[in-house]
Structures are given as structure tokens and as C-alpha cells.
Amino acid sequence: MDKKRHFYPPKLADRFLEFYCVSDRLEQIQGDAYEMFYMDLEEKGITYARFRFIFHVFSFFKWSNIGFSKFLHFKTNNTVMIRSYFKIGWRNILKQKGTTFISVFGLSCAVGCCIVAYLFIANIWFKGLNQPNKDEIYQLVYTTEEDEGLVTYGTVAEPVSELIPNSLNSIKNQTKVLLEFPLLIQDNESFYQRSLFVDPAYMEMFQYRMEYGYPGALQETDQVILTHQLSEKLFGEMNPIGQELSLVINGEERLYKVGGVLEDLKDMDMFTFDLLVNFESHPHNMADIPLKDAWNKELWTFIQVEEGADIGLIESEMEGFTQIQNQVNPEKPYTKMGLIAYPDIIYNVGKIERGVRDFLGLGPQILLGTIGLFILLLAVFNYINLSVLMASRRLKEIGVRKVIGSKRSQLIFQFLSENLLICFFAIFLGCLLAGFVFLPGFNGIASKNLQIDLFRDKNIWIFLGSLLLVITLITGLYPATYLSSFKPIGILKGNQKIGSKSVFTSVLLSFQFTLAIISMVAAIAFVQTNYINANRDWGYSSADKIIVNVPESKDYVPLKNRLSALSSVVEVSGSQDYVGNWIREKEAFIGTEKYEVNFLNAESNYPELLDLELKEGRMFNPDLITDTQESILVNQTFLDDFGLEFPFDQSVEIDSVRYHVIGVVEDFHTTFFKNTIEPMAISASPDSTFNYLTLKMNPGSAEGSMEAVKKIWHETVPLGLFEGKLQTQVFEREIADVNGVAKLISFSAALSVILALLGLFGLVSLNMTAHIKDYCIRKVFGANVEDLSKKLLKRYLIIWGIAAVIGSVFSAFFITSFLDSFFAFHSGVGIIPLGFALFILLGVIISTVASQIWKVIKANPAVILKSE
Amino acid sequence: MKGYHLGELEELVLLIVGILDQEAYGVSVAEEIKNQMGRKVNISAIHTVLNRLEEKGFVKSHMGGATEERGGRRKRLFSLSASGRAAIHEVKMARNRLYDQLPPLALDFSNG
């Protein structure tokens, strides 16, 4: 009989029997099978017995015995069980309103942040992928050999598209796509708008929902299709079909009618544009130009292939284009032409020059993703901590369930189902929060148009679903496995210790504190940097100056003359680029060494007009011919970078002209503080034509004269867009950008502190409720406030200390590199951000603990200790 | 012959159930058949027959008698019902009747 202890029938076969057998026959059949097994075991040994058992299991596999009873049984039972789980879960939620609020609030904030981050990132990666024909559309590209190796271009020569219908097989549609910024004039207002010149087939290849009109409107060469935003901007709410507007392309004005309006694209289209125009109406299309010039014009070309077309074959057919191109244009031969699938365009950003998308903006994606993750972690940790603690009130339930016969897996399932309920609420609220609070705020800061589109965007459902699953599992698995691991005897006897003192809770809490510190340091350091930069010396005086653009060279002289005549204008100077914007880069040779320098070509009075500070040498003298021909001023960085001392004899050669350095000016910021100060050379040209005019105004009159300047400008240049601005405003956009980021980070820091506070509060107050008797007894025995606070505070202070060390180290590393990515000039993670962050967190901890100590102080020990 | 049709194995199992009297269940029936008749019958076949007999109303059953060998599972114990006993009797009578009608062996000289 001893053998029975050691040997069991084969498990798998046994399971199989249990699986298929009808429930009311299972017991007898299984019993008989077991009995036979042990009989065989006695007689013939284990191998034979096992074999026989398996044989029996299969011989019982008969129609009358098969019922998949376990499976069916399990299912019917489960619905009841799940219902009861959810009922218990729901009652628990109602019973513990405070903690549930903390959990749900935290999680929904986190979900809201994650949705915003997701939408932002998805907007970049899934752009244009809701096009129904996306798998049939390909972009033509070519590869050519250049100095730095093979380079692939997203544009191809324009005549290629004319060859496509006759040369390539299985092509359904094709279109040229050319993006230009013509001046759009409507009702005496003019704007630069992104216009996409396309073939009419474009509207068949790419499907858009129309608000007004129909997609075929582009068949007419004099019709345009507007986006929703542009139509709203130009015509307001009315139906604009048939309204007139004109576009100025290459100085030529053409009249168009509005033929249609697209529905709001929600930033989800591959191309960024404001209006679609028929390609044939593009002026350069009309002109008869030499063959070679035509091949020199490059634009995007897209084809739509028939279903199941062989892309390799088409690519080999395109070999012919390469040959034609290389005959016509032997100076820049194509190595190879190819096709890029429309959905792959996004993955080729950076690999393809002049592509449809040439910028991914990883920085903001990482920033937002990190913020979302931080907040989510904080909320999740809160929830884990609280749910473990809250479950201490339910230990008896766990014990009783276990004694009655719940399996551990069933208990885990029960806790998880309660979690699912909470997470579901959180996600629901998170969607509302994101849709009505976070997204509008974020769109305002980032000037984006992100929306939660639950009806059309199936990816958001996948995202929300997986978020629900992930949060449920992360928040639920630890508490569920931990709580279900208790021994029922321990629980029911009251021996089971469960509590906030566990190491795990402390670890989570320190992690939370660390996250809070890092996000606070980021926010404070960023705001501090912003503040310092706002007061930073630009290196020149920006007051009382107006910059205006000169659209065409023929306008330069009249514009300059008429503006000089304005009474408030003191001095006028022209320049090729202006300080406050990008300055073109040139190669400079000093001796045989080659350097990259910014090269600013301007009139000789420009440096003085701008009040640049002279450090050594002298400024330009307009009367000296040598100054306007072979002299340059350089900035201090120029000397520092190239290791030169001021009076030096070597000449600087730029564009094969030899210049002599006559003076050194102090460094000044030509671009925003994001960029370092580059070595710069300023040359004075004789009065030629420049792209910009800088006006020096009478002190204090700059802002007031703007209107007058604009009026004169428009009188002089009838067809053009006035882009005048004050010199003080040159960094306006960048400042708005960093202020937006500052807001974003401050918001996330505030949120993370609030979440950490809520979590801590929940933890401390639950802890206090559990140990209130302990504290009351201490009180009775004469403990004073100091002793009590010391006892309660000690643990949290230790955690604070740990978090402070880790957080400081981490933020010193990460926040510094984070700031580096935004500013070349920043104050770094100094004592102020760190100190403030640590101090705020300490304050939060002390006040939270104090609120609980206050509870003890107010508590009457007699009442609490009596209640036993 | 109203409805007492029994197959060969059915008849055998029915008899064994009667013999085992209160102790008849799958394994014991199989064992008994092996001991008495020297014939190995598959346990699943026995189950099928027992179930069929119960459907026909020749045996009745109840659950009982868990043992350690069975991992604490109970047996389904079968016992002969009145109609089962009648069926055995009927079958036996029919056999006897048929037997009696056998012509005598050729070497039997008693009839001359």
C-alpha cells in the first residue's frame, strides 16, 4: 500500500478525463480508473499501470461520457462568481470613498496625461495612415552619389510624371505634389498660405471628407479646395463655394474660385497644407522651358498601383527614367530610382532629403512621454500602497474565503476584478479629463489640434484597452498575490501582520518622492532659467528699432527712401539677414584652415545702428572704400574659437574675397538662447540691395510708428506681405515656446506633488487609524506632542532623505541634459531648484503628518480606548 | 417476449451484478467476470453495459463506498431490480426451453 503514496496516475491523462467527462459520471469513472491503476500497479508495476490508465481514459472517451462538463460547469459558475466579485468590489468602493477618490483621481489624472502624450506621439507616427488607399500608394525617390556618400531624395524631376503612364504598368493613378507658399489675397487681406499644387488624380488617391463641395472640384484649373481652418479664417461660418480669391506665385496674380472645403483634418494628414490647387494653374507649368531646365525642377511624385502589383517590377521599369535623366542632365546623374511605400515614409525621416516629412521632433515626444509615465507611476504606486493597506480591513474575508475553499487563483481573480472596476472608472474619467481640460490646455500651449476621436480612430481604442489592461495588472498583481498568500489560520487567529511598515511600501514611497523631486527640480530649474534669460543681455540694444522685410530687390531703394522720410526714423540700414534671426553660414579660410562662420552682410552703419559694443579696433567707416570692400568686424567668439588675438595680420577669406579684420565686437545673441553664440563676421557692402531694412527710431516712438511704417510699406509694395516687427520682438515665438514648455512642466510638477501628497496622506491616515489606540495609550502614559510626532515622522523623514539623495543625483544628471536640449544658456541644476524642491517636499510631509498628529491631539483617549 | 431482449455481455454483467449483491460496481464486475469466466473485459465496456442496463431498468444504482484506492471518490453501486431478476429468469427459461428441444446425440441408443 505504500506505493500509493509515491505513485499517481499520469496527470495529463487524468486532466483530460476531467476535461471531457460528464460531471455526474466523472466520479465513478475516475474512481474506477484510479482503482484499476493501483491494481495494475500492484500486479505489473508502474509503467504498465500508467499505460493502462491512459488506455482506460481513452476508452472512456465515448459519446455518452463526453460532455465537456468541466468547461461548461466552469463557465456557468463563473458568471455568477464574476457578478459577485463585481458586486463586492462596488460595495468596497462605496465603503472606502476617501481612498477610492485618491486612487481614481490619481489614476484618471495619469490616464489623462498619458492620453495627451499618446495623441501627441501618435499624431506624429500615425499621420496620414487613415488613408484607405495607403497600401497602394508609393512615392518616387532617387538616389545619387554625393560627397558624403549616397543620398536619397524624396523629389524627382518633374518630367518623370509625364513618362509614367506610358512606361510603367499596373499604375492606377499618379499625382505630382508641389508645396509652395504663395501670397493669398482675399478681400484686401493677404496671407502666406501653404498651398499644395496637385494633379486632379490626387483627390482620387487620397480620400478626404468634404465639408462643402465635392472632390472633383480640382478638375477645373481655376478652382481650389480649402481646408476647414482656412475656410473659417477667410470666410467664417458661411459656405464659401464660388467665392473668389487670388494667389500670387512668382509675382504673378491669378484668380481662383473656391470649389470645395475639406472637413477638419485634425492634424492627421501626411501633408501639411492650407489649400489644394490644380497643378496646371501653376505658372511655371505654362512656360515653355528648355528640356534641361524642366528636368532640373524637382517635386514630389506619388503613384497608386493596382492591387497585387509587383513593386520590384515597377522599380525595374523605372530604370528607363534614370537613363533619360542621366542623358538630359549628366551633371547630376541619378544612381537609381525607387519607390517608398506611403506608410513607410515616416520611418524614412532623416534618411531621405527633401521628403514629405523631414522632422520628427523626438525631444517633445520624449518629454511628454516621460511626463505621462511619471504621473502614471505616481498614481499606480499610490494605488498599490493604498490597496494593500485597505485590504488589511478585509483580512477576515480573505481568511473565510480560503477556509471555505477558494483557490488562490480565485482570490487573485477577485482582487483583479475589483481593480478592473476602479481602473475602468479611472480611464473613463481620464478620457473626460483629457478631452475637456488637458487637451484644450495643451493645444493652446503647443498650437496643435489634437482631439480624442473615439468614432474614427481605432488606435485610440487599442491604446485605451491596453492601458486598462496594463494598469489593472500592474496595480493589481502585487496586492492580489501578496494578500492571497496569507495562511487562513494566521488571519483568523489575528496573528497576521500587515501594514504600512512593509519594505515594499517604503520602496514605493521613496520612488514616489524621487519622482516628485525630479519633476519639481525640472520645473523650478526651467522657470528659473526662463526668468534669467528674460533679463539676459542680448549684447546689443534692442530698443527703438523696427525691422521690415523687402520682398523683392526692385522694392529696396524706393522702400528705403520712403521710410527714411518718415519723421520718427533716425537712421535706416539694410542687411542681408537681421540680428535676431538665422544668419547664413559661410566657409572662412584663415591661412589654410577652414572654419564655419556666420556671415552677416549689411550696410556699413548697421553695427553702429544696432548699438553693438565695440571691444577692440574700430567700426566701419562708410567713407573708406577699403572698409566697404575688404574689411570685416568679428565677434569675440570668433577670436576665442579660432585662437586668435586681435590685431592679427592674416586675412580671412570668405567667398574667395580676402577680408581684413578691423575690429572686434562683444558677443551678441543673433538667435535665441537655445543656440550658442557662433563665430561671426560682419561685412559692410556698398549700398546694394538687401533683404531687410532696420529702422532706428526716435526713443520711445518705435511701437507707435509701426502703423505708419506698415502703411508706407503697403503703398510701396502692393503685392506683398508685411513682416515688420520690433527688434524687441525677434525672439517672441521662441519665448512663447519655452514659456509653453515651462507651463507644461510646472503643471506636471504640480500634479506629481499633489499625487505624492494624496498618496502620503492616504498612507499616513490609514496608518494612524490602525494605530490610534497605540497613540492614545502613549498619550495616557504622558507622551507629549513631540514624542508622538517623532514616532510618526521618523519613517517618512528617512524616506525623504533617501529620496532626496537619489532625486538630487538623478536630477543633476537628467535635468541638466534636459535643459541642455532647450537652452545653450541656462543656470543648470543649482542650489535653488534642488533646495526648493526638497524644501517643498519636506513641507508637504511635515504638514501631512501634522494633520494626523492633530487628530491624535484632539482625540480623547478615554473614548477611543473604551470602545473595545 | 416483451422487452427482455439482452445482449450476451449484458446478460453476463446482469448475472454478475446479481451475484455480487450490493457490491457491484465497474471494477468489481470486471474482476468477477475475469475470475469466474476467465475473460478480460474492458472497464469502459462494463460501464457502458451497466449504464444501458440501468436505462432499461434491469439494475438500480446508488453512490457510496469511497476508498483510498479511488482517491476518495465514491463508487456507483449497482443492484438487481425486480425486472432485472425477471429478465434473467426469462432468459434462463428461454435457454432451457431451447436446450430441451435439442435432438439427442446420434450415439444415444436409448431411443433405439
pLDDT digits 0-9 by tens, A122-173: 888 887 777 888 888 888 888 888 777 788 888 888 888 888 888 887 888 8
Mention every residue, 6+ apart, whose C-beta is less than 8 A from residue B52. B10
State residue A687's pLDDT score: 64
Mean pLDDT (whole number) for A689-712: 83
- pLDDT tens-digit profile of A616-648? 888 888 777 777 778 888 888 888 888 877 777
Q: Tell me the nearest-neighbour CA distance from B7 into chain A, angstroms.
A: 19
| Helix residue ranges per DSSP H, A176-277 | 202-205, 228-235
Whether the pLDDT of residue A868 is over 80: the answer is: no
Closest CA to A388 of A496, A467, A468: A496
Q: Tell me the nearest-neighbour CA distance from B76 into chain A, angstroms.
A: 6
Whether the pLDDT of residue A746 is over 70: the answer is: yes
Using CA atoms, how far apart are residues A74 and A68, in angstroms rounded to an integer?
A: 10
What is the amino acid identity at position A557? Answer: V
Whether the pLDDT of residue A473 is over 80: the answer is: yes
State residue A804's pLDDT score: 92
Q: Tell me the nearest-neighbour CA distance from A79 into chain B, angstroms.
A: 28
Residues of A whose CB is below 8 A from B42: 59
Q: What are phi and psi of B22, to 5 degrees?
A: 75, -15
Q: Which residue of A has its CA nearest to B30?
A: A36
State residue B112's pLDDT score: 47
Kindly report the average pLDDT of chain A as a whole number. Answer: 83
State residue A802's pLDDT score: 93
- pLDDT tens-digit profile of A28-41? 888 888 888 888 88
Using CA atoms, how far apart are residues A399 and A405, in angstroms rounded to an integer?
A: 10
Which of B43, B45, B68 is closest, CB to CB, to A32?
Answer: B43
Using CA atoms, how far apart are residues A745 and A367, in angstroms rounded to an integer?
A: 9
Using CA atoms, how far apart are residues A58 and A61, in angstroms rounded to an integer?
A: 5
> C-alpha cell of A83?
457578478
Whether the pLDDT of residue B111 is over 80: the answer is: no
Whether the pLDDT of residue A801 is over 90: the answer is: yes
Percent of chain A whose predicted confidence (pLDDT) is above 90: 6
Regarding beta strands A657-665 and A614-617, do their DSSP bridges make them parallel or antiparallel, or are they unpaired? antiparallel
Q: Which of residues 32-51 of A touch B (CB under 8 A)?
A: 32-36, 38-39
- Confidence tier at A70 by pLDDT (50, 70, 90): low
Check A27 against B26: CB less than 8 A apart.
Answer: no
Q: Tell me the nearest-neighbour CA distance from B10 into chain A, angstroms.
A: 17
- pLDDT tens-digit profile of A332-377? 788 888 888 888 888 877 778 777 776 667 778 888 898 899 889 8
Closest CA to A746 of A754, A756, A734: A754
The shares of helix, strand and coil residues in chain B, as percent rounded to the nearest 5, are 55, 10, 30
Closest CA to B6 of B57, B53, B59: B53
Using CA atoms, how far apart are residues A68 and A72, in angstroms rounded to an integer?
A: 6
Q: HSE, CB side, 13 Å, CA atoms: give it for residue A335.
A: 9
State residue A69's pLDDT score: 53
The SS3 call for residue A476 is helix
State residue A1's pLDDT score: 45
Check B47 against A32: CB less than 8 A apart.
Answer: yes
Mean pLDDT (whole number) for A224-236: 87
- Confidence tier at A496 by pLDDT (50, 70, 90): low
Buried b (16+ CB within 10 A) or exposed e, A469-497: eebbebbbeebbebbbebebeebbeeebe
State residue A111's pLDDT score: 92
Whether the pLDDT of residue A744 is over 70: the answer is: yes
Strand (E) or helix (H) holding A736: helix A732-770
State residue A288's pLDDT score: 65
Q: Which of A1-5, A378-382, A723-727 has the lowest mean pLDDT?
A: A1-5
- pLDDT tens-digit profile of A528-568? 888 888 888 888 887 888 888 887 777 888 888 888 888 88
State residue A140's pLDDT score: 86
Are the beta carbons of A516 and A378 closer than 8 angstroms? yes
Closest CA to A234 of A253, A218, A258, A210: A258
Using CA atoms, how far apart are residues A631 and A786, in angstroms rounded to an integer?
A: 77
Ranked by mean pLDDT, the top range of A15-29, A79-93, A176-190, B14-28 is B14-28
Are the beta carbons of A811 and A832 closer than 8 angstroms? no
**Cα angle value A422/A426/A429 (rounded, 5°):** 140
Q: Is the dihedral of CA A468, A471, A475, A478 positive or negative?
A: positive
Are the beta carbons of A49 and A94 closer than 8 angstroms? no
- Confidence tier at B17 by pLDDT (50, 70, 90): very high
Counting one residue from A and one from B, how many pairs have CB atoms under 8 Å apart? Answer: 59
What contacts 24+ positions apart, CB below 8 Å, involve A481-484?
A481/A412, A482/A388, A483/A388, A483/A391, A483/A395, A483/A398, A483/A411, A483/A415, A484/A398, A484/A408, A484/A411, A484/A412, A484/A415
| A545 to A109, A567, A678, A727, A730: CA distances (angstroms) | 46, 14, 23, 5, 11
Are the beta carbons of A191 and A275 closer than 8 angstroms? no
Whether the pLDDT of residue A678 is over 80: the answer is: yes
> C-alpha cell of A364?
517633445
What is the amino acid identity at position B4? Answer: Y
Q: What are phi and psi of B107, to 5 degrees?
A: -85, 0
Percent of chain A whose predicted confidence (pLDDT) is above 70: 96
Higher pLDDT, A704 or B47: B47
Mean pLDDT (whole number) for A802-812: 91
Higher pLDDT, A128 or A471: A471
Buried b (16+ CB within 10 A) or exposed e, A34-65: bbbbbbbbeeeeeeebbebbbbbbebbeeeeb
- Confidence tier at A77 by pLDDT (50, 70, 90): low
Closest CA to A475 of A416, A556, A529: A416
Strand (E) or helix (H) holding A748: helix A732-770
Check B75 against A31: CB less than 8 A apart.
Answer: yes
Domains and CATH numbers, chain B: 8-101 (1.10.10.10)
> C-alpha cell of A383?
494605488
Higher pLDDT, A420 or A496: A420
Q: Tell me the nearest-neighbour CA distance from A777 into chain B, angstroms.
A: 54
- Confidence tier at A410 by pLDDT (50, 70, 90): confident
Closest CA to A414 of A428, A425, A435, A398: A398
Secondary structure (H, E, C), A378-427: HHHHHHHHHHHHHHHHHHHHHHHHHHHCCCHHHHHHHHHHHHHHHHHHHH
Mean pLDDT (whole number) for A858-863: 83
- Confidence tier at A419 by pLDDT (50, 70, 90): confident
| Max CA pair span of chain A | 124
> C-alpha cell of A845?
510631509
Residues of B whose CB is below 8 A from A56: 43-44
Mention every residue, 6+ apart, whose C-beta is less than 8 A from residue A752. A374, A375, A378, A515, A516, A519, A520
Rg of the Cα atoms in chain B: 18
Which of B47, B63, B71 is closest, CB to CB, to A34?
Answer: B71
State residue A465's pLDDT score: 92
- pLDDT tens-digit profile of B62-91? 888 777 778 788 888 999 999 889 888 988
Which of B43, B67, B68 is closest, CB to CB, to A36?
Answer: B43
State residue A172's pLDDT score: 84
DSSP label of A438 = I
Using CA atoms, how far apart are residues B57 and A757, in angstroms rounded to an integer?
A: 75
* Cell 438487481 -> residue: B80
Whether the pLDDT of residue A682 is over 80: the answer is: yes
Using CA atoms, how far apart are residues A566 and A709, in angstroms rounded to an integer?
A: 8
State residue A501's pLDDT score: 59
Are the beta carbons of A258 and A243 closer than 8 angstroms? yes
**Best residue in B25, B40, B41, B43 for a mutation probing chain A (most A CBs within 10 Å):** B43
Check B70 against A35: CB less than 8 A apart.
Answer: yes
Mean pLDDT (whole number) for A474-488: 84
Using CA atoms, how far apart are residues A595 and A470, in angstroms rounded to an integer?
A: 53
CB neighbours of residue A346 within 10 Å? 18
Per the DSSP assignment, residues forming a β-bridge with A767 are: none
Q: Which residue of A has its CA nearest to B64?
A: A28
| B58 to B16, B53, B62: CA distances (angstroms) | 13, 5, 14
Regarding beta strands A336-341 and A252-262, do their DSSP bridges make them parallel or antiparallel, or are they unpaired? unpaired
Q: For the purposes of burial, counting CB atoms within 10 Å of the CB of A843, is it exposed (0-12), middle (13-18) or buried (19 or more)?
A: exposed
Mean pLDDT (whole number) for B42-48: 89
Using CA atoms, how far apart are residues A703 and A709, in angstroms rounded to an integer?
A: 10
Are the beta carbons of A634 and A620 closer than 8 angstroms? no
